[in-house]
C-alpha cells in the first residue's frame, strides 16, 4: 500500500525568484472554460485522474492497461504517448500513427476519453482524424514558440481540449506564451500541466517541482486549470503519492499519472510508472480538500486569523522599510569614507547570527537564508546607487 506521506528530509530543490518579465500584479487575459465542462472526475470522492502508459508499445499492452484502468472506476481519461520526442536518436520514439488505431479501440471498448501528445501539425491532423479527445503539448515543445505556433495553427477552428506542459527549464514566460498561443487560436478548453523543471542539482526528484512557478501561474490566471504530473516530477514510483497529495493540497485540479500493466518491462520511463492496481491504491489514500469551507464557524475563524496575518504583514513591511533607511545611511557613510559597499565578513556574521536566531524560533534555515539574501541584495542595490550618484552641486 502506498502512503501519501514522504520523509521530512525529502528536498524539493532550489527556489526560483519571480520572473522580471511577469509581475505578480499582472493578470493574464485567457479565455478558458472550467475544467468540469470538458473533463470531470469519475465521482465527487475521487480527484480527476488521467492515466495510462508512458508509451503505447503494442496493441495488447495498451488495451490490457486501458481495461484495468477502467475497471478501477477511478480514472477519467486514458493517456498514451504515440510519438515520443527523445533526447537522443536511437531511443524508442513512439510506435507512431498505428498507435492511434489502438487508442480508438481502447476508447471504444472502455468508454474512456483518450489523450495523447502532439508536437507537429501532422500529429494534430492524425490525432483529430482518429478521434482523440484531448491533446497535450509536451515540455520540449512548449520551450519552442515556433513548434507551439505550428500546433496552434493546426487546432485553429477545432473544438478540442489542449493541455500545455511547462517548459523543460523554469521559464514562466515561455509557459505563459505557449498557453496564449493556443488560446489565441480559439481553444478555450485549455489547461496547464505542471510536470516540474530540469535542474543540474541532484535531489530525490527527476524534475524539481518548483511549486512557486505553478503558484505564480495560478495567481496570474486563477481560472486556468492546472493538472499535476507527479510521474515526471518524481521519476520513480515511490514518491508519487507524496507529490500527488501536495498537488491537491495546493488546489491543483487533477493528476496525470503514468500507468503500465507491467512497468518492469516498459519501453520508456519504467521506474516512474505504476500498475493500475497500485494507481487505484494511491488514489484511495489521497485526501480531497476544498478551496473554501462551507462551515460558517470555520470561515469566521479563518477571517479572524487572516486579519492577524494582514496586521503582521504590515508591520513586517514597515520594518523592512526602516531597515532600508538605515542601509541607505550606511551607504552614505561608506561613500564619504571611501569604503566598499560589499563587506563579506559582515555578511557572514549576519547570516550566522540570524539563521541561528531563526532556528531558535523554529524557522526553517533555508527560508531564513533566502529571506536574508533578499534583504542583503536590496541593501547592496541601494548602497550602490548612493555610491554612484552624482554629488549635489
Looking up residue 73, the CATH number of its domain turns out to be: 3.20.20.70
Cell of 44: 465527487
Round to whole Å and give the CA distance between 356 and 289: 36
Q: Is residue 147 part of a domain?
A: yes
Q: Judge whether residue 1 has pLDDT over 70.
A: no
Phi-psi region of 52 (alpha: psi -120 to 50; beta: other; left: phi over 0): left
User: What is the total count of domains within the chain?
Assistant: 2
- Residue 276 shares a structural domain with residue 308: no
Check whether residue 72 and residue 161 sit in a common domain.
Answer: yes
Does 187 reside within a domain?
yes
The pLDDT assigned to 4 comes to 47
| pLDDT at residue 9 is higher than 60 | no
Residues 225 and 309 in one domain: no
Q: Are residues 48 and 192 located together in one domain of the fold?
A: yes
pLDDT of residue 192: 98
CATH number at residue 372: 1.20.59.10
Residue-number span of the structural domain to which 306 is assigned: 296-388
Task: Let me know whether 171 and 239 are in one domain.
Answer: yes
Choice among 220-224, 342-346, 366-370 with the minimum mean pLDDT: 342-346
For residue 28, tell me if it sits in a domain. Answer: no
- Residue 300 confidence class, pLDDT cut points 50, 70, 90: confident
Residues 383, 255, single domain; the answer is no
User: Is residue 348 included in any domain, yes or no?
Assistant: yes
Over range 53-66, report the average pLDDT.
97
Q: What is the pLDDT of residues 74-133, one digit of tens each?
A: 999 999 999 977 667 777 777 999 999 999 999 999 999 999 999 999 999 999 999 999
- Band the pLDDT of 8: cuts 50, 70, 90: very low
State the average pLDDT over residues 234-259: 96
Give residue 263's pLDDT band: very low, low, confident or very high (50, 70, 90). very high
CA distance 326 to 324: 5
What value does the mean pLDDT of the chain take? Answer: 89
Helix crossing, 365-388 with 296-336: angle to 10°? 40
The answer as to whether 204 is a domain residue is: yes
From the number of C-beta atoms within 10 Å of its C-beta (0-12, 13-18, 19+), residue 328 rates as middle
Residue 16 resides in a domain: no
pLDDT value at 221 more than 60 = yes
Element spanning 49, H or E: strand 49-52
Amino acid at each position: 500500500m502506498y502512503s501519501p506521506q514522504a520523509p521530512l528530509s525529502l528536498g524539493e530543490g532550489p527556489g526560483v525568484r519571480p520572473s522580471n518579465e511577469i509581475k505578480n500584479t499582472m493578470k493574464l487575459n485567457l479565455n478558458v472554460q472550467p475544467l468540469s465542462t470538458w473533463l470531470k472526475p469519475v465521482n465527487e470522492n475521487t480527484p480527476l485522474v488521467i492515466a495510462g502508459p508512458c508509451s503505447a508499445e503494442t496493441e495488447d499492452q495498451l488495451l490490457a492497461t486501458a481495461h484495468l484502468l477502467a475497471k478501477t472506476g477511478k480514472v477519467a481519461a486514458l493517456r498514451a504517448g504515440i510519438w515520443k520526442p527523445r533526447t537522443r536518436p536511437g531511443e524508442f520514439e513512439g510506435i507512431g500513427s498505428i498507435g492511434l488505431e489502438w487508442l480508438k479501440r481502447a476508447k471504444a471498448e472502455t468508454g474512456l476519453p483518450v489523450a495523447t501528445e502532439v508536437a507537429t501539425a501532422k500529429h494534430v491532423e492524425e490525432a483529430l482524424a482518429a478521434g482523440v479527445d484531448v491533446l497535450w503539448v509536451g515540455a520540449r515543445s512548449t520551450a519552442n514558440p515556433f513548434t507551439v505556433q505550428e500546433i496552434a495553427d493546426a487546432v485553429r477552428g477545432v473544438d478540442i481540449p489542449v493541455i500545455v506542459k511547462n517548459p523543460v527549464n523554469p521559464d514562466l514566460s515561455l509557459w505563459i506564451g505557449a498557453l496564449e498561443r493556443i488560446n489565441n487560436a480559439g481553444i478555450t478548453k485549455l489547461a496547464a500541466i505542471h510536470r516540474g523543471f530540469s535542474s543540474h542539482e541532484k535531489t530525490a526528484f527527476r524534475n524539481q517541482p518548483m511549486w512557486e512557478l505553478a503558484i505564480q501561474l495560478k495567481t496570474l490566471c486563477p481560472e486556468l486549470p492546472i493538472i499535476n504530473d507527479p510521474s515526471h516530477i518524481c521519476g520513480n514510483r515511490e514518491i508519487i503519492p507524496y507529490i500527488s497529495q501536495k498537488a491537491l493540497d495546493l488546489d491543483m485540479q487533477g493528476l496525470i499519472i503514468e500507468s503500465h500493466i507491467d512497468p518492469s518491462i516498459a519501453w520508456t520511463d519504467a521506474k516512474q510508472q505504476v500498475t493500475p492496481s497500485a494507481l487505484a491504491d494511491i488514489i484511495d489514500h489521497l485526501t480531497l480538500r476544498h478551496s473554501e469551507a462551507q462551515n460558517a464557524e470555520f470561515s469566521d475563524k479563518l477571517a479572524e486569523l487572516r486579519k492577524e496575518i494582514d496586521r503582521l504583514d504590515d508591520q513586517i513591511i514597515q520594518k523592512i522599510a526602516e531597515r532600508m533607511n538605515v542601509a541607505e545611511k550606511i551607504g552614505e557613510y561608506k561613500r564619504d569614507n571611501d569604503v566598499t559597499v560589499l563587506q563579506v565578513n559582515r555578511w557572514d556574521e549576519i547570516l550566522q547570527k540570524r539563521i541561528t536566531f531563526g532556528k531558535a524560533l523554529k524557522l526553517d534555515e533555508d527560508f531564513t537564508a533566502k529571506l536574508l539574501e533578499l534583504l542583503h541584495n536590496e541593501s547592496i542595490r541601494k548602497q550602490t546607487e548612493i555610491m554612484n550618484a552624482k554629488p549635489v552641486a
